Structure 1
C-alpha cells in the first residue's frame, strides 16, 4: 500500500481561463439559497416529520421483522455509499476503483439524501481547507465562547448550517470529478436516486405484507426513518467530534476520535485520525480499531475492484502522534 503524503488533492489555481481574473472559491446568491432551503426542507426536515409519522403509524401497522430488516439494510448500504464512495473515494481519493464500483457507490451515496456528489465533495474539501476556521461551513467552534456559544455552535454544525450557506465553487474544488463524464451522468440523477431509496423499501414492504399498509410501513422505516438515523449519525461527526473525544494526532483543527461509535459511523468516528491523515483509506489506522468502511474497501481490493489503497507509514504516524504527556490538543475556540 502506498504511503500517505501530506496532500493528495490541491485545487486548481484560483484564476479563470484568461489567467488574470480570480476564480471565486464560493458562490452566494438568492437562487442558490432557494435551492438550499428546498433541499433542507425535503431531506433534513421531512425525515424528522416522517420519523414521527412512522411511530404514529404503528397504531395501524405494528413494526415487524421486515421493517427492521429494511431499516438496517438500507442504512447499511447507503451509509457505506457515503463513507466509502462520497468521502474516501471521491473526496480524498484514498483508493482507486473500477467504474462500475464508482457508479454503484455514487447511487448508494445519493440515496442517503445528503446532497449531490459534486456538491458534497466540494463542501467537504472546503471543510478540510478551512477546518475550524473562518470559511468552514459547519464548524461548531466559531460561535463564541461559554456555554451559550458552545450550544449555538453545536446546533449550527449539526443541523442549521444547511439552511443557508456559501456554496463552494465545484469548478475550483472538484474539477477532477467534473472531467469524469461517466460519473457526471450518474451523479446528475441525484433526485431520482433519492426517490429510488424511498420507493424500493415501499415496494418490498408492500410485496411482503401484500397490503398498502405494508408499503407505507416500508416507506417509513426503510426510507424516511433510515434517512433520519443516517443523517444524524453523519452530522454528529461535524458537531460532536469537533468538540468532544480524544486527540491522539497532531492536526491544525479540533477534530476528535470517538471510537465507541466506530461501528455506528462505519469508521467515520476516528475523526482525528482522518484529519491527521486525510488521504488514508483506513480511518482506524490499526487493525483492532473497528472501521467497516475500510473493511469494504479491502473486500473490493480482494475482488480486484479497488487498488492503490493509501495508508500512512508507521514512521509518519509515530512522528505525528501526540505523547500522552506532550502538548495539549488544539483549543476549541477560533
Structure 2
C-alpha cells in the first residue's frame, strides 16, 4: 500500500456507495416490465437522454480529459460547470475520481492499478474474477486513493474542492430534479415517479455500466492499433454511449490528447464538445493529436509510414 498511497473509506460513505451502485441496478432490472405498455413517456425519455448526455460529458470532458489529464484549459465558469455536470453522473466526487484515474494510469494493468481485469491472472476463472473486480468490484471496496499524492493541484483549487464536498447534494439533485420536472410537467405524482425512475435511477445505472465498461471490457477485448504499455483496447460498439471513451487504446498511448477516436468513423462526442468549447472561446491550449505524433504511436504503420485511420484531429 505504501507505493500507491491508499486509505480506508469511512463506513457511512461506503454504505452510500453500495446504495448508489445497487439501487439504480435494481431499477434497470425492473425497467423492461415497466416499459411494456405503461410507465414510460416521451417526457421521461427526453429527460433521461438530456441528463445522460450532460452528466456523461461532465465525466468524459470534465473529470477525465480536463481535470485528470489537462487536455485543454478553460475559465473558472466552465471548470465549475464541468465539475458539477460530472458529479451528476453519481460516479463519485471529482477529487476521488481524478485520484483513482491518475493512479490507474500510473500503474495501468500492474500492481497498484485500482481496477485492472488482469489482477488475478489469465486463467478463465481468474479473468472472470478480474472482470468483476475491474467493472464494479473495486468500487465496493473500502479503499480510497490518496488525493494529496495524486491530485494536489485540484485539492488546492477552492472551487473544485467545494464541488467535491457538495457531491452528496449534487447526487440528491441528480435524482430529485427530474422527478420535480416530471411532476410539474404532468401535474401528477405518477409523472414525478416515472421521471425519477427513468431519468434518475435507470439513467444513472446505464451511465455507470457504460463508464465501468471502459475499465473492464476496454482492457480485455478489442483492437490495439496504438503502442501502449498496458492492455488497453478500442471497443467500437461502446463509442457512442461512452462519448468516445471506448477508443481507449489511443488514450493510453497518448493520455493528454483531447481526442481519443482519430479514425474516419471513430465517433468521439467528447472531442466534438471540446471543439465547440474552443470555437466559442471557452477552451484554449487544446491538445489535439498531431499527425507526426500519431505516426510514432501507430503500432503497425501502413506502407509508406502513414498510420491507418490518421486524421488531423480537427473533427468530431
TM-score by length of 2: 0.90
Q: Distance in 1 between matches of 2:290 and 2:128?
A: 38
Structure 2 partner of 1:267: 244
Query: Does structure 2 retain, via aligned residues, the 8 Å contact 1:57–1:217?
Result: no
Q: Secondary structure at the match of 1:268?
A: coil
Structure 2 partner of 1:103: 80
Aligned-pair CA distance for 1:289:
2.0
Aligned-pair CA distance for 1:59:
8.0
**Structure 1 residues 213, 60: CA separation in 2 closer, same or farther (over 3 Å shift)?**
farther
**Structure 1 residues 78, 212: CA separation in 2 closer, same or farther (over 3 Å shift)?**
same
Q: Secondary structure at the match of 2:216?
A: helix
Could you tell me which of 233, 245, 250 is aligned with 1:256? 233
Structure 1 partner of 2:180: 203
Aligned-pair CA distance for 1:290:
0.7
| Structure 2, gaps ≥5 residues long | 303-316
TM-score by length of 1: 0.85
Aligned-pair CA distance for 1:322:
1.0
Q: Distance in 1 between matches of 2:237 and 2:79?
A: 29
Aligned-pair CA distance for 1:179:
1.2
The 5-angstrom pairing of residues 1-334 of structure 1 reads: 25-29=4-8, 32=9, 34-35=11-12, 37-55=14-32, 57=34, 61-286=38-263, 288-323=265-300
Structure 1 outlier segments of 4+, above 6 Å: none
Aligned-pair CA distance for 1:36:
5.4
311-320 or 107-116, larger mean C-alpha shift = 311-320
Q: Distance in 2 between matches of 1:221 and 1:262?
A: 22
Aligned-pair CA distance for 1:60:
9.9
| Cα offsets for 1:153-183 (capped at 9, x unmatched) | 1111111111115321101100110111122
Q: Distance in 1 between matches of 2:186 and 2:152?
A: 47
161-170 or 269-278, larger mean C-alpha shift = 161-170
**Structure 1 residues 260, 54: CA separation in 2 closer, same or farther (over 3 Å shift)?**
closer
Q: Distance in 2 between matches of 1:276 and 1:89?
A: 17
Aligned-pair CA distance for 1:144:
1.9
Q: Name the structure, 1 or 2, with higher relative contact order (CA <8 Å, separation 6+).
A: 1
| Cα offsets for 1:94-116 (capped at 9, x unmatched) | 00111111111111110111000
What value does the CA root-mean-square deviation take over the aligned residues?
2.0
Aligned-pair CA distance for 1:55:
4.8
Q: Distance in 2 between matches of 1:312 and 1:112?
A: 28
Structure 2 partner of 1:3: none
Query: Does structure 2 retain, via aligned residues, the 8 Å contact 1:205–1:218?
Result: yes
